Amino acid sequence: MKQFVLNDRKDLIEAVAYYGFLPFFANAIEGLSIEEMTPARRWFTEESGPWEWKGPVISEGDCVYGKFFDKKAGFVSNRWFPDFANVRRDGYDFDARFEDGLASHKDEYLYNLIASRHSILSKDAKIIGGYMKPKKTGRDEWQPRKGFDTTITKLQMQCYIITSDFEYEIGKNGQPYGWGIARYATPEEYLGRRFTGKVYARTPEASRKRILNHLKRVLPDTDEGYLVRLVG
């Protein structure tokens, strides 16, 4: 397994391009995570690190980001994402999945809220969708819709939704602060023909085989069962 040390976002972009699939956090495949590849001095210190690199890597790195790996975040190269989505979707676009009873009304509601827009910040999706209380609404006249976090994670695991960027609140001094706020989009909207022209070009099983063959090349010492679990 080729080893990477992530000292800046260019190193991260290179690692994503090489592996094709790079979880953020340590997992069953030892060494295959941003967490394990990043020096300790880059975590929660004054030096920039993976948390700050996420947005720029999405825009510069020819890859997508989302909760793709065991409900946890990571990157997938655009080279492999159409096949990956084909596997995770089992060949279904969202409307067909819902019509066949494989998606709930909760799934449909949130998917349509995001799909009807070019993109949307998570906090805006929560307010518009009724998951978060609007500031001007009285205490007793509003009940929140439940299940945002569970549903948005499910839609990302199925590759119907991706995180297209992270944006920060701006303080009175004009400087960004806090955690980045996720901006969501469908891959159809965000990637366009690069995605829609390829996602269903093969059977899901053919896409799975193609991905596994690639992973065996870049991770030759990894048990195949772990690779199958990574693909999903």
Q: pLDDT tens across 86-100, in order?
A: 999 999 999 999 999
Which phi-psi region, left, alpha or beta, contains residue 140 (left: φ > 0; alpha: ψ -120 to 50)?
alpha
CB atoms within 10 A of CB 116: 10
Instruction: Give the total number of structural domains in the chain.
Output: 1
Residue 4 in domain: no
Whether residue 35 lies inside any domain: the answer is: yes
- Going by pLDDT thresholds of 50, 70 and 90, the confidence category of residue 3 is confident
Report yes or no on 136 lying in a domain.
Answer: yes
- Percent of the chain clearing pLDDT 70 (strictly above): 94
**Domain that includes residue 101, residue range:** 9-231
Confidence of residue 140 (pLDDT cuts 50, 70, 90): low
Binned at pLDDT 50, 70 and 90, residue 169 comes out as confident
Asked if 219 and 1 touch (Cβ cutoff 8 Å), the reply is yes
The strand pair at 162-170 and 120-121 is best described as: unpaired
Whether residue 167 contacts residue 183, with contact meaning beta carbons closer than 8 Å, is answered with yes
Q: Give pLDDT, residue 137.
A: 54
How many Cβ atoms sit within 10 Å of the Cβ of residue 101? 7
pTM here?
0.92
Q: Taking residues 203-227, report their average pLDDT.
A: 97
User: Is a pLDDT exceeding 90 seen at residue 228?
Assistant: yes
Confidence at residue 180, expressed as pLDDT on a 0 to 100 scale: 82
Q: Is residue 84 part of a domain?
A: yes
Distance, in Å, from the CA atom of 20 to the CA atom of 65, rounded to the nearest integer, reads: 12
Residue pair 82/192 in contact (Cβ under 8 Å)? The answer is no
In-domain check, residue 2: no
Confirm whether 3 is domain-assigned: no
The maximal CA–CA distance of the chain, rounded, in angstroms, is 59
**Using CB atoms within 10 A of its CB, is residue 55 exposed (0-12), middle (13-18) or buried (19+)?**
buried
